């Protein structure tokens, strides 16, 4: 192996880090030193190979979910900070609000599209009637989800733009969520119907993936 | 409702997206995430060679960036600033994991590798055997890079993939220019050794 200074000359030349004078001088050496020229050529080929096979940009797996998770965590942080500002004595854990993910389904003919909404709800003991959609995730790239709160209806409205047309005679059965309960200790939220029966439990599995359990019997 | 709610943010400049984000507009920040997630993910993936961990680290970088946005003075390009955060997040992770290079290559680290050559192979009508050779070569190169120590892998990725100058690398790592050159030299020597059959030429 060559002394460091010569090593540096070679890679500085290779990486275009030499000024004109240095480059001319080094290239004169290359012309008179076949071994150095051979090594330079090999390193240049190696460099080209690396650049060709290590793309500067990669497709992110589950890219929409990637974004949604960021939005959820940002909202968690914001709400947490807001809560801490309001109640300086509350501990971090006690003030942490759990977030929800609510699946939405609709169908057009044989095609079904699932839309997962990530919902943050305040614990019922504080403000049972209000919810806030933090972010939404649509598995279908052609569908864009947006939400707003309709004060007159006192309801959160989910808009799905890009769905296939639904025939007028198509019956869509939905569920009416009357209230929800959040259990921060187990990071689970349960949705109830008007009769008080549980409709859906939303939580995470051991790997942290969303878990939806319809009609889950509560202990 | 955020200021950007009715605006198509796809064409908005980074500077304006950053300003909107600094004002609390998460939709604007989401646009920045979408714009740069591929590059940030590529960097974390190349450095740690694990799809799942790279995904998490890229996400962590964006969350750290969101939290640090109030302090971003826009005296540098947003991506440069974001890249530095992502790099630090990833390198901290590497330090904690104490992944060492030579002789400690872990096959599991590359089992989820993006199909070698699939996205880097030059587009065109390459013959199947050529495409296969390209894919094999891509895999060999990725494996060789995975075997480097974190320090050597780091400078190779910063120089060859990101195209940073020595000064930029020295500032980012951080270390001296001499260290950058030494690491680049020895990293290449190790790669050259591992890929001798591919790149060795005869006089």
Q: What ipTM did this prediction achieve?
A: 0.74
Provide the pLDDT for residue A171.
64
Distance between B95 CA and the closest CA of chain A, angstroms:
23
Hey, which residues does A203 pair with through a beta bridge?
Answer: A211
Which chain A residues touch B114 with a CB distance below 8 Å?
A: 58-59
Q: Do B33 and A70 touch (CB under 8 A)?
A: yes
Which chain B residues touch A62 with a CB distance below 8 Å?
A: 55
Q: Which of A5-19, A47-61, A146-160 has maximum average pLDDT?
A: A47-61
Provide the pLDDT for residue A199.
75
Q: Do A46 and B195 touch (CB under 8 A)?
A: yes
Provide the pLDDT for residue B176.
93
Provide the pLDDT for residue A103.
44
- pLDDT at B157 > cutoff 90: yes
SS (H, E, C) chain B: CCCCCCCCHHHCCHHHHHHHHHCCCHHHHHHHHHHHHHHHHHHHHHHHCCHHHHHHHHHHHHHHHHHHHHHCCCCCCHHHHHHHHHHHHHHHHHHHHCCCCCCCCCHHHHCCCCCCCCCCCCCCCCCHHHHHHHHHHHHHHHHHHHCCCHHHHHHHHHHHHCCCCHHHHHHHCCCCHHHHHHHHHHHHHHHHHHCHHHHCCCC
- pLDDT at B128 > cutoff 60: no
Task: Identify residues of A whose CB sits under 8 angstroms from chain B CBs.
Answer: 1, 4, 7-8, 10-12, 15, 17, 34-35, 38, 41-43, 45-47, 49-63, 66-67, 69-71, 73-75, 77-78, 135, 148
- pLDDT at B2 > cutoff 70: no
Provide the pLDDT for residue B4.
55
User: Residue B64 has which token pair?
Assistant: 């750290």
Q: What global pTM score does this model have?
A: 0.59
* Spatial separation of the C-alpha atoms in residues B91 and B97, rounded to whole Å: 10
pLDDT grade for B106, boundaries at 50, 70 and 90: very low
pLDDT grade for B201, boundaries at 50, 70 and 90: low
CB B179 within 8 A of CB B187: no
User: Residue B15 has which token pair?
Assistant: 């500077």
Provide the pLDDT for residue B115.
36
CB B166 within 8 A of CB B183: no
Provide the pLDDT for residue A125.
40
CB A12 within 8 A of CB B185: no
pLDDT grade for A124, boundaries at 50, 70 and 90: very low
DSSP characters over A139-204 = SSTT-EEEEEEETTTTEEEEEEETPPPPPTT---------EEEEEGGGTEEEEE-TTS-EEEEEEE
Look at residue A95 and give its three-state secondary structure.
helix
- pLDDT at B122 > cutoff 60: no
* Spatial separation of the C-alpha atoms in residues A41 and A35, rounded to whole Å: 10
- Helix axis angle for B26-48 and B78-97, nearest 10°, is 40
Chain B: residue nearest A8 by CA?
A: B181
Percent of chain B, pLDDT > 70? 77
CB B27 within 8 A of CB B2: yes
Domains in chain B: ranges and CATH: 10-99 (1.10.1740.10)
Averaged pLDDT score across all residues of chain A: 72
Q: What is the mean pLDDT of residues A172-180?
A: 68
CB A15 within 8 A of CB B155: no
- pLDDT at B89 > cutoff 90: yes
- pLDDT at A95 > cutoff 90: no
CB B201 within 8 A of CB A42: yes
Provide the pLDDT for residue B190.
94
Instruction: Give the number of beta-carbon pairs within 8 Å between A and B.
Output: 138
More confident residue, B191 or A204: B191
- pLDDT at B88 > cutoff 80: yes
- pLDDT at A89 > cutoff 90: no
Q: Which of A128-132, B95-99, B137-141, B167-171 has maximum average pLDDT?
A: B167-171
| A82 phi, psi to nearest 5 deg | -60, -40
Distance between B97 CA and the closest CA of chain A, angstroms:
20
Total Cβ atoms within 10 A of residue A11: 23
Q: Do B145 and A50 touch (CB under 8 A)?
A: yes
| B52 phi, psi to nearest 5 deg | -65, -50
Provide the pLDDT for residue A114.
42
User: Residue A144 has which token pair?
Assistant: 């864009």
Interval B33-83: pLDDT, tens: 999 999 999 999 998 888 999 999 999 999 999 999 999 987 778 998 999
User: Residue A30 has which token pair?
Assistant: 């290359």
More confident residue, A37 or A94: A37
* CA nearest to A198, candidates A212, A184, A171, A177: A177
């Amino acid at each position: 192996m060559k002394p460091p200074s010569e090593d540096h000359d070679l890679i500085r030349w290779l990486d275009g880090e030499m000024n004109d004078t240095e480059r001319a001088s080094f290239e004169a050496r290359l012309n008179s030193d076949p071994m150095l020229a051979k090594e330079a050529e090999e390193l240049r080929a190696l460099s080209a190979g690396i650049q060709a096979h290590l793309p500067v940009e990669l497709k992110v797996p589950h890219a929409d979910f990637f974004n949604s998770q960021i939005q959820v965590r940002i909202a968690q942080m914001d709400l947490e900070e807001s809560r801490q500002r309001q109640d300086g004595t509350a501990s971090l854990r006690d003030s942490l609000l759990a977030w929800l993910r609510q699946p939405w389904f609709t169908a057009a003919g044989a095609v079904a599209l699932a839309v997962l909404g990530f919902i943050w709800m305040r614990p019922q003991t504080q403000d049972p009637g209000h919810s806030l959609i933090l972010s939404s995730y649509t598995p279908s790239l052609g569908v864009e989800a947006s939400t707003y709160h309709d004060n007159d209806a006192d309801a959160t409205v989910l808009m799905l733009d890009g769905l296939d047309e639904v025939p007028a005679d198509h019956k869509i059965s939905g569920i009416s969520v009357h209230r929800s309960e959040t259990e921060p200790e187990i990071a689970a939220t349960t949705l109830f119907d008007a009769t008080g029966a549980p409709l859906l439990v939303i939580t995470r599995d051991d790997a942290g993936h969303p878990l939806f359990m319809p009609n889950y019997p509560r202990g | 409702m955020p200021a950007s709610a009715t605006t198509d943010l796809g064409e908005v400049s980074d500077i304006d997206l950053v300003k909107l984000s600094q004002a609390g507009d998460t939709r604007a920040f989401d646009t920045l995430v979408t714009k740069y997630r591929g590059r940030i993910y590529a960097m974390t993936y190349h450095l740690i060679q694990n799809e799942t961990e790279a995904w998490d680290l890229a996400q962590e970088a964006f969350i750290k960036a969101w939290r640090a946005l109030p302090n971003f003075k826009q005296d540098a390009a947003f991506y440069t600033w974001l890249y530095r955060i992502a790099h630090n997040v990833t390198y901290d992770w590497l330090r904690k994991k104490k992944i060492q290079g030579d002789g400690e290559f872990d096959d599991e680290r590359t089992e989820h590798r993006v199909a070698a050559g699939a996205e880097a192979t030059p587009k065109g009508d390459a013959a199947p055997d050529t495409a296969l050779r390209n894919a094999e070569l891509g895999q060999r190169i990725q494996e060789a890079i995975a075997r480097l120590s974190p320090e050597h892998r780091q400078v190779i990725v910063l120089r060859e993939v990101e195209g940073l100058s020595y000064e930029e690398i020295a500032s980012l790592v951080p270390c001296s220019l001499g260290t950058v050159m030494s690491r680049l030299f020895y990293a290449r020597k190790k790669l050259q050794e591992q890929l001798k059959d591919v790149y060795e030429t005869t006089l």
